Amino acid sequence: MDFSTFVGAAVHDMKNSVGVITAYLEDLLARQTGEGADATLLQQTLHETQRVNGNLVQLMAIYKIERGLYPFNPEDIDFVEIADEVLARVQPLARIRHIELQAEIAEDAPGWYCDRELVVSVLTQAVFNALRYTRTKVVLGVVLTPEGLNIRVDDDGAGFPAFMLAQDYPQPGIDTQTGSTGLGLYFARQVAALHRHKARSGQTRIENLPQGGGRFVLVLP
């Protein structure tokens, strides 16, 4: 047994614990009446727990993808369902922060072949991230473009700082100012690259919107 096997097993076990903690917190929250300080505290605890889970899931997935062990499994997925699932996960936090969540799925954006778990994981993390920096709302949009299915997460915050928009981002290591590890974007890029159709493969990018705010884009060919 080498060290990475222990890491794998430990992450696995941690995920189980996080799952139980999450469920207990949800249960406690359901018993709260009104919007008191306790409820807000519980919501924040729940959110942090979900962040831990998200990170563990991504670490596990990257570990497997890089060793060719990830059981990549594209299925025909309806993006209305994907949006429902992603927004259901972030809704509790959005509520206490008074942020509005919107899904804008274009009528002509059909079902699309992708790995459900990976895509949900990327988008959930992107929406959580947007929630931290936005002012009033976060929009999960899906449109069909010539490059493929275009899934975007828009916020109306201050937009991405210049260093993040640079070509070589993310570099491994933690940014002391933002607390960002770059793991989310690295993971998103790995996931995009797994999705291929004919000669094309998926992509990610971040950009700033002309009207202000940031946009994360996942393109699936």
Partner 1 sequence: MNDVFGSRKFLLVEDFETMRSVIRGLLRRCGAERVDTAASGDDATKLLARERYDVVLCDYNLGVGKNGQMLLEESRFKQWITPTTVWIMITAEKNSDMIFVAAEHAPDDYLLKPITEGMLQTRLQRLLARKAALAEIVAAMRAKDYARAIYLCNQRKQEGKHVADLLRLQAQAYELNGDAERAATTYHDVLDRADVAWAKLGLAKLRAQKGDDDGARVLLEEIVSAHPHYLEAYDGLAQLLERKGDTALQLEILQRATRISPNSSARQAALGSVAARSGDMQLAAQSFQRSIKLSEHSAMRTPTAMLGLARVQTETGAPQAAMETLAGVERDFADPQSRLLAKSEALRAHVKAGDEAAVQVAQQQLMDLTVGASEAVPADIALQVAETLMQCGRQNVAAELIQFVARNNHEDQTLAERAQRVFDSGGMGEAGRELLTASRKQAAEAMSEGVKLLGQGKLPEALQSMRHARALMPQNPRALLNLAYVAVVSLEKAGWDAPLAEEARSAITAALALSPGNARATELQGKLQKLTPAH
Q: How far is CA 28 from CA 4, 39, 62, 142, in A?
A: 36, 9, 33, 34
Q: How far apart are CA 132 and CA 112, in angstroms?
A: 29
Structure tokens at 103: 């899904």
Q: Which stretch binds partner 1 (CB under 8 A): 36-44, 105-113, 132-140, 160-168?
A: 105-113
Residue of 192, 182, 200, 171 whose CA lies nearest to 72? 192
Least distance from C-beta 172 to partner 1, angstroms? 24
Q: How many CA atoms lie within 13 A of 134 on its CB side?
A: 25
Select from 4, 32, 91, 136 the one that contacts partner 1 (CB under 8 A). Answer: 91
Structure tokens at 19: 């799952």
Nearer to partner 1, 120 or 206 (CB): 120
Q: By CB under 8 A, is residue 147 in contact with partner 1?
A: no
Select from 15, 97, 132, 205 the one that contacts partner 1 (CB under 8 A). Answer: 15
- Rounded (10°) angle between helices 37-66 and 183-194: 50
Nearer to partner 1, 63 or 169 (CB): 63
Contact pattern from residue 38 through residue 77 relative to partner 1, giving x for each residue in contact according to CB under 8 A and a dash for the rest: ---------------x---x--x-------x-xxxxxxx-
Least distance from C-beta 74 to partner 1, angstroms? 6
User: What are the beta bridge partners of residue 188?
Assistant: none
User: What are the beta bridge partners of residue 138?
Assistant: 101, 155
Q: Which residues bind partner 1 (CB under 8 A)?
A: 12, 15-16, 18-20, 22-24, 26-27, 30, 53, 57, 60, 68, 70-76, 78, 81, 84-85, 88-89, 91, 110-111, 113, 117, 196-198
